[in-house]
Amino acid sequence: MGQGRLEDDLGPGPGLDGKDGGEHPRAALRTLRTRIVRGGAVTDAYRRALVKLSGEALMGDREFGIDPDTITNLAEQIARASAGGVEIATVVGGGNFWRGQAAAETGMDRATADYAGMLSTMMNALALQDALEHAGAEVRTQTALTMAQIAEPYIRRRAIRHLEKGRVVVFASGTGNPFMTTDTAAALRAIEVDCETLLMAKNGVDGVYDADPATSPDATRFERLSHLEAIQRRLQVMDSTALSLCMEHELPIVVFDVRGKDSIYRALNGERIGTIVSAGALTEPAHPG
């Protein structure tokens, strides 16, 4: 697919100044919530958010691949939030099919293994695109690797234009570079397309803990904490490169369990679930009950 001006690229659209030089200051673009009126009711939904889905989140209870019921449920939640006015981008991992680092540990060239992993994210992206379309959403898939017959190339301004038009944008192939995780891709894309938050949909973990809850029965879940503390304490939020990017650009992160009932829809609509990681936040353990 060529990168010329298509219909979707015409006009700067809201939030763009139509100039090539300089970006809007991030502080001017991001408010933590947007008041959206739905059926006479006002809700504290995000204006624009990026949802990071791991490949494992698509497996359900399977050991490999994609569970149809699981991906349908996730897509329906995203489509419902999109129909309500939230502009949504997603980054999807590929660990349900392939893990580049694990393959490299068996002797495979790491860069080659990572490129294979990028292809697995493309399979997940196409499956998610189809599920979203069946749920009634209008979708565009963009990939960091050139695959002109099946997806658009990643072009930042075009992605923003899709979001402004109410389309769900699925980002595939990570950053397009080996040695970079899809967590880093999620942080990068969220910053690039001016998202207000990065929603980390974890598989079976309902937030950030001070220890591994699987091995430490007394582990305490945080209600909120700062990016810096998460980095200093090596807490399992995301990889350190991604977390550092979010800290530098003051991008809030919400970490929650993708298996919770309607958790993606609730998170997109601003309900306080899981753990919030943000700039300068005071550490706050979750209260029992």
The pLDDT of residue 41 is 42
Q: Which of 261, 239, 78, 259 is nearest to 170 (CA)?
A: 78
Residue 7 phi, psi (nearest 5)? -55, -40
Map out the domains of the chain as residue ranges. 34-285
pLDDT at 129: 99
Could you give the CA distance from residue 240 to residue 266 in angstroms, rounded to a whole number?
27
pLDDT in tens, the chain (289 residues): 443 333 444 344 444 444 444 443 444 334 444 444 444 444 578 999 999 999 999 999 999 999 999 999 999 999 999 999 999 999 999 999 998 878 888 899 999 999 999 999 999 999 999 999 999 999 999 999 999 999 999 999 999 999 999 999 999 999 999 999 999 999 999 999 999 999 999 988 899 999 888 888 899 999 999 999 999 999 989 999 999 999 999 999 999 999 999 999 999 999 999 999 999 766 777 765 5
Question: DSSP character for 54?
Answer: -
∠ CA(265), CA(126), CA(161), 5° rounding? 65
Only one residue has tokens 């209260």, namely 287
Q: Residue 1: its pLDDT value, please?
A: 41
Sheet holding 253-257, edge to edge: 152-153, 139-143, 168-172, 87-92, 48-53, 197-202, 253-257, 275-278, 222-226, 284-285
pLDDT score recorded for residue 7? 41
CATH architecture of 34-285: 3-Layer(aba) Sandwich (3.40)
